[in-house]
Structure 1
């Protein structure tokens, strides 16, 4: 997506009704990652840092040639869009976008996605509020996801049977 500081949008999109913007109740014409850091916003919580972090994920092998599973859950106060990227022999990743405005959501990754997520996952990143130290191991079946947040979790590569022909 092209980034421009030019008016009228002053951000990295020219879409007035983009899905993420509308779900997070933000006006893309008033969001500028450049201005956010320039006007004294905390750089670690800026939209630019979030964009950089999500862009960096694209360098990971699972994102380059792995399988993709996505879903959207709207029930019991949850308003979560998620996607999982995994490739055999490489780290797996799940990214959760909680668009809920009020409540912390308690969930199980396996129940949410119906995908074989290992019990132990590693906390990689959360935006805008960081609740855990990076690389802390947490229980994939006992997650607390903050409202209006993006959370990235990962897990160690699943074993590949060396005798099985690829």
Structure 2
């Protein structure tokens, strides 16, 4: 992923208003992010732990989603799998819900996906971050194929959020 500026990130949101995008918390350490190892940039809002944000590049332009997460206590003891990168965690996967873009979102329609709570899927797939014993299933896929699968899963989720019909 190419490095993004704060302004590029704020203007990329597809499921919130310009005012909401202007007020949300963007990471201050953008220059220090491992951009070459990221398929998407994800972060949690430090002022509102139930809010998360995700930015990816599609059709040569950034697309960003505002997400809400579930912090249910029952997830802390159950082993769950991320729907994007297929990493399993004990207490490290959250249901993230995105309001749909456009009129559907204005009516309150939303779509959810189970994602690594720290939004570090790209690093787990590449083996740059360890989720613990048994977190990555033994597969015959190459790292590049795992990256492609993660990107395809993210694209499918983004398509559901931005679908107009």
Q: TM-score, normalised by structure 2?
A: 0.30
Instruction: Report the structure number with the largest CA radius of gyration.
Output: 1
Q: TM-score, normalised by structure 1?
A: 0.30
